[in-house]
Amino acid sequence: MPAQKTPQKRLIVALDVPTAAEALALADTLAPQIDFFKVGLQLFLEAGFAVCDALSKRGHKVMLDLKFHDIPQTVALTTAQLANHDIALATVHGYPQVVAAAAKAKGRTKILAVTVLTSLGHEELAQSGFAGTLAELVQLRAETSLAAGADGIVCSPLETALLRKKVGSKPLIVTPGIRPLDSARDDQTRTATPHAAIQAGADYIVVGRPITKAASPVTAAREILDEIG
């Protein structure tokens, strides 16, 4: 766990906006205090790798959050496409066959296995047919994903402390579902503050709407950085 990293190095801002122009403008506004950005499905479908490349050329690190989940051959072929781009982190769903396929084709990119989406609650879990608890499912997917070759995991801040204790200090833990105390939860179910997530053992926290929808994204980002530190 990179405890030596500064708060600036541990905050990933989710560019959950509809166009590349908006994403790059937001990144330019937040630079230089933020240098790590997440590109998700909405933005990638509009702009493709071009927006990732533009961020990289500006000196930023990129987390590509497309949550690959398909047959192993398709996942491997898709992951191999990342080699042509400067992608620091990429996400796949936390199923061993999916993780193993991505890990074999990842190149320089680090693979993060998504355990359970932070929007999922106990009621939705019961509807899926899983008989255990959310924490048990997260732990199961984390351990099997790491065994299959994942470099790290994505989990909610509520499971971070448990997983850090279980998996040790080496694997990356990236935590979305971050909400400052005065921020709305939106569609997130399992949330925590930036400070709580870092204290629980997260290497990186991912923050979107509390920054991107703020009246002043720069001020909102600075307040979160202050809370991390």
Residue 69 assigned ligand-binding role: yes
204 touches 228 (CB < 8 A)? no
Catalytic residue among 35, 65, 151, 203: 65
> Under DSSP, is residue 121 helix (H, G, I), strand (E, B) or coil?
coil
Task: Report the 10 Å Cβ neighbour count for 181.
Answer: 9
Residue 122 assigned ligand-binding role: no
Residue 36 assigned ligand-binding role: no
61's CB contacts (< 8 A; 6+ apart) are 35, 36, 37, 88, 89
Residue 208 assigned ligand-binding role: yes
Residue 73 assigned ligand-binding role: yes
Long-range pairs for 54-61 at CB < 8 Å and ≥24 separation?
Answer: 54/20, 54/24, 55/23, 55/24, 55/27, 56/85, 56/86, 58/24, 58/27, 58/28, 58/31, 59/35, 60/27, 60/31, 60/35, 60/36, 61/35, 61/36, 61/37, 61/88, 61/89
153 touches 113 (CB < 8 A)? yes
Residue 71 assigned ligand-binding role: yes
Catalytic residue among 35, 67, 106, 203: 67
Residue 104 assigned ligand-binding role: no
Residue 118 assigned ligand-binding role: yes
Residue 42 assigned ligand-binding role: no
Instruction: Give the closest residue to 44 by CA, choosing from 62, 64, 59.
Output: 64
Is residue 65 flagged as an active site residue?
A: yes
Residue 38 assigned ligand-binding role: yes
151's CB contacts (< 8 A; 6+ apart) are 103, 110, 111, 112, 171, 172
Residue 157 assigned ligand-binding role: no
Residue 180 assigned ligand-binding role: no
Catalytic residue among 53, 61, 70, 166: 70
Residue 209 assigned ligand-binding role: yes
Q: Which residues are annotated as a binding site?
A: 16, 38, 65-74, 118, 179, 188, 208-209
Q: Which residues are annotated as a binding site for substrate?
A: 16, 38, 65-74, 118, 179, 188, 208-209
Question: Which residues are known to be catalytic?
Answer: 65, 67, 70
